[in-house]
Amino acid sequence: MTTRADRRPIGVFDSGVGGLTVLSELRRRLPHEATVYLGDNGRAPYGPRAAEDVRAFTAECIAWLLAQDVKLLVVACNTATAQALPLVREQSDVPVVGVVRPGAVAAAAATRDGHVGVVATSGTVASGAYPAAITEANPAIVVSQQACPTLVPLVEAGVVDGPQAEREVRGYLEPMLAQDPRIDALLLGCTHYPLLRATIERVVGRSVAVVDSAFTTAIAVEDLLDALRARSDLTGSGAADNRIATTGDMAAFTAVAERVFGDRLPDVESVSVEAAVSSKA
């Protein structure tokens, strides 16, 4: 039997730095897969934007990633997944994995009592994508949502614990938990919220399971590569190539990413995505 292998990179798209939470899970799980990450920092945040802007910006970024000859696309941004996934699928000639379904399946599996809370950006909440995906996984589940518009700027400012972070998190979560005290699983439906996990867990207490989509998205990507027999055949101890590009300011991207993630990143490239769209048109 001949084994097929595909060394082309996996494309990972986010509105900015937050999708690095998904990228790092992917690289931990699939170290021999090359990756190209694009953050649309020049136009982030997507959370408060109109759905049509999110769709137009996402289409430009996806066109740029497709031009990098990727074998699979991961839409790591919850807002872009919630508002633009069907369009991304239409636009792409490679398989596309979004973060909403993997997160929804994780939340549906985590609840014992059938009551799930979702925290996300305003755009993701308005789309209704998470309640739809969670009830698709299990129609009996009751879903409550809460938009948390101040949490992305808070994380980007490096405030992930301490009194201010706790106050903000409490301000969003306590009313939701008071409204439905049976919530026993909380889904972090935004790329940035896993960075606040310790604070969130302290606020919700031990009876609420906190889940995010980074881990389950990486599993979905691995399963898909196996199903398509499209894994890279690179082996050995070194990790595969990892390109990181931004539509924004490189130094600003690196500063926020290092503040948020702690480690040093590979060199960050500055790119223009409008060029990718016009060259496709």
Distance, CA of 131 to chain centre: 17
Sequential DSSP letters for 61-92: HHHHHHTTT-SEEEE--HHHHHHHHHHHHHH-
By C-beta, is 63 or 155 nearer to ligand DGL? 155
Quote the CA–CA distance of 152 and 156 in Å, as a whole number: 6
| Of 9 and 16, CB closest to ligand DGL | 16
Distance of CA 263 to the CA centre of its chain: 19
- Give the nearest distance from C-beta 235 to ligand DGL in angstroms: 33
Q: Which residue, 5 or 50, has its beta carbon nearer to ligand DGL?
A: 50
Task: Provide the binding-site residues for ligand DGL, judged by CB under 6 A.
Answer: 14-16, 18, 44-47, 77-79, 121, 124, 152, 190-192
Contact indicator for 115, 182 with CB cutoff of 8 Å: yes
Whole-number Å distance between alpha carbons of 170 and 257 = 25
Q: How far is the CB of 33 from ligand DGL (least distance, A)?
A: 22
Q: What's the rounded Cα separation, in Å, for the pair 132 and 9?
A: 31
Q: Which single residue brings its beta carbon nearest to ligand DGL?
A: 47
Three-state DSSP at 134 gives: helix
Contacts of 147 (CB under 8 A, 6+ apart): 119, 120, 121, 122, 124, 125, 126
In whole angstroms, how close is the CB of 14 to ligand DGL at the nearest point? 5
Least distance between ligand DGL and beta carbon 77 (Å): 4
Q: Active site residue: 34, 54, 77, 214, which one?
A: 77
Indicate if 148 belongs to the active site. no
**Cα separations in angstroms, 124 against 81, 139, 191, 232:** 8, 20, 11, 33
CB of 119 to ligand DGL, least distance (A): 11
95 by Cβ neighbours in 10 Å (0-12 / 13-18 / 19+) ranks as middle
CB nearer ligand DGL, residue 80 or residue 230: 80
CB of 203 to ligand DGL, least distance (A): 20
The one catalytic residue in 160, 190, 204, 245 is 190
Q: Is 61 considered catalytic here?
A: no
For ligand DGL, which is the closer residue by CB, 141 or 154? 154
Residues assigned a catalytic role: 77, 190
